[in-house]
Structures are given as structure tokens and as C-alpha cells.
Amino acid sequence: MPHEVRGVVARSRGAEVSLETILVPDPGPGEALVQVQSCGVCHTDLHYREGGINDDFPFLLGHEAAGIVEEVGADVTDVAPGDFVILNWRAVCGQCRACLRGRPWYCFATHNATQKMTLEDGTELSPALGIGAFAEKTLVAAGQCTKVDPAASPAAAGLLGCGIMAGIGAAINTGGVTRGDSVAVIGCGGVGDGAIAGASLAGAAKIIAVDVDDRKLEWARGFGATHTVNSRESDPVEAIRALTGGNGADVVVEAIGRPETYEQAFYARDLAGTVVLVGVPTPDMKIELPLLDVFGRGGALKSSWYGDCLPSRDFPMLVDLYLQGRLDLDGFVSETIGLDGVEEAFARMQRGEVLRSVVML
């Protein structure tokens, strides 16, 4: 029998979300039913509501989540009922060309649940990033469940399911930040501050936070930024160079996803340095750079999808660092809300008033 639960649905482009009754099937082969305990309000959910991802309405929103496995289907061996898990939206297949080359974080055939969650009238829902966790329960592929230490706060741990992991991974996994490096991060929202926290964990000697909001720059200092630059008041490229002996930073993380800030990142890096794009652009955006500069400056221009993370490796490690007091995940939680507070949380996020609003169930 399907489970009747409450969930947050986006029915049409730009319309306010609604709290509705959702029917969640029992798990089939390779699937898991998860009782959601927490789910962060991420910009990606707003992109879904605005039709910026695709037009497969209605959407069941929410994806940055943690909870308890309630039931598993046949052939599931990695998780069991009662496990505390973080949900991930890239359950690796183990069989594609990336996985077989030993690069599963690039998996080209990730898994989602086969069965569909629906509205009461049978309308099939499209779960955000294959998860749909603004709901009391959700159905996912079992590989989307990563077991972690249950001592962790669900509100904090769930944030590793998307934005904070994307930022940490952009610095450590994609950017390869290591001891003594200089790092600049352009954009100090949740993802950017995740990159700052990751650079700090990796032992960067200098971490420069760039934003237009002094409040966000102050938050960035709390996650490890050693210097801040308000780009409304000074040229960020010149400021970063001035703070790095005139050279530019070894790694520059662009966490906004705009052509003008990507160009700033390109010119703010040292020769042979690395630019990491983790901010998500819109389909219409284009960038133009002199090809001679691309050639002459050397180094690497990389994009980072989900922080190039491998959930089975990275989530437990980062939760352990959190429990040791070495990674302040609690600092990302600006407020906790109920399922009925998502629309207002979107507005606060757009105004830059919060790093993360977290739905608690």
C-alpha cells in the first residue's frame, strides 16, 4: 500500500509552492523508502520552481536531505532499515566507462528510483534531482542513501547532500587545494562558504573571500577566510593580486555562475593556476576570452559538478570531521522551518538573508 505523506509541490512555472498529499510506493528492487528528518532549501529547488531545470511539472521539491531508512526492496545490501543516511543525487552505477576507469565520481549512468511518487489523483511527480525530500517520506534508489554516523545532527548532516558538499569538493577534489596554497572564492553563499571551509581543511595558507555583501563576507571569515574583498568597493582581480604578491591565487573558485565573475576568476589566478567553476550558469550565458590568454596563462580551467564527490567516500569522512569539531556544518544552518515555510524561505534566500534554511520533520 502506498504511504500518504505531506510534500511540497511546484505545479507550474513561477507559481508559489503548495503543501499537498503525496503517495509514496513501497520500495521495489534496488529502492529504499526513507523517513526524511531534514532537508535544506537550496537554490536548485528554486530553479526547479522557476522552470530553469526543465518543464517536467509538477515537481516534488527538496534534495539536500538526511533521514532514516524505513524499508528497502529486494537486492538491497548496502543499507538497512534503521540506518541514518544522507541522500545523494548521484548514485553511481559501477558499470559505465567512468566507473570502470576508476573514476566513479564522473559516473555517466547514475541511478534513481524506478517507481513514481504521485499526487492523490495519480499525477506522477518529478522529484528534484531524483530525490524529492520536502516530504515526510521519499522513495529513492538505494544507492542514493549513504550511511553515516547517527550522532550527527540531521540538520547539519543533510547539507552535505548538495550545496556544502559541492563547495568543499570544488576546493579539495576539483581544485586540488593543498597545504600552503592561496585560494580565492568568488561568491560567499552556501556553496562558496563550503569551498572556503574545504580550503581551510586542506591547509590553504591564504583564503580570500569575495562578495558584494559585507554580511556574507563576515560569515565567510567564520568558515576560514583570512581576507575579504567587497567587489562593490574595489576591483576583485586587483585586490586578489595585491594579497598574493602581485601574482594571483593558486586556485580560484567561482561560486556564482556568471560570465563576469568567471572572467574575474580567470584573471585573478596565478600563472599555471586553476579556475574551478562550481556556480551554476543559465543556458543563455556565454563567455568570451582572448584565446591567447587562455594559452599564455597555462594552468587549468575546470568545472565541478557536485564537488566531484564520491558520496560513499566523502560523506562519512566529512561527518566524522564535523563530529570532531573540525568542520562547522552547524554554522551553515541559518534557521529551521517546517514544510509550510518553504516559499518564505525562498524569498529570504533570494534576499541573501540566510546561508541555509533547513526544513525539519
- pLDDT of 129 reads 96
- pLDDT of 282 reads 84
- pLDDT of 52 reads 86
| CA 239/CA 163 separation, integer angstroms | 27
Q: What average pLDDT does this structure show over 241-257? A: 98
> What CATH number has the domain spanning 166-305?
3.40.50.720
The cell 520533520 sits on which residue? Answer: 361
Name residue 24's amino acid.
Answer: V
Q: State the pTM of this model.
A: 0.96
Closest C-alpha among 290, 211, 217 to residue 258: 211
Tell me the pLDDT tens digit for each residue of 183-220: 999 999 999 999 999 999 999 999 999 999 999 999 99
Radius of gyration of the chain (CA): 20
Are the folds of 3-161+328-360 and 166-305 the same? no
Tell me the pLDDT tens digit for each residue of 106-116: 999 999 999 99
Closest C-alpha among 93, 80, 74 to residue 143: 93
| CA 193/CA 354 separation, integer angstroms | 12
- On the question of pLDDT at 1 being above 90, the answer is no
Q: What percent of the chain has pLDDT over 70?
A: 100
- On the question of pLDDT at 270 being above 90, the answer is yes
Task: List, as one string, the DSSP characters of 240-296.
Answer: HHHHTTTS-EEEEEE-S--HHHHHHHHHHEEEEEEEEE-S---TT------HHHHHH
Find the length of the chain.
361
Q: Which CATH superfamily is domain 3-161+328-360 in?
A: Medium-chain alcohol dehydrogenases, catalytic domain (3.90.180.10)
How do 84-87 and 64-72 pair as beta strands?
antiparallel
Tell me the pLDDT tens digit for each residue of 278-289: 999 988 999 999
* Domain coordinates in residue numbering, the chain: 3-161+328-360, 166-305
| Alpha-helical segments (H) within the chain | 43-49, 97-100, 154-157, 163-169, 190-202, 214-222, 236-243, 259-268, 291-297, 311-323, 342-350
In a 13 Å sphere around the CA of 174, the CA atoms on its Cβ side amount to 29
Return the C-alpha torsion angle 32, 36, 41, 44, nearest 10.
10
Tell me the pLDDT tens digit for each residue of 302-330: 999 999 999 999 999 999 999 999 999 99
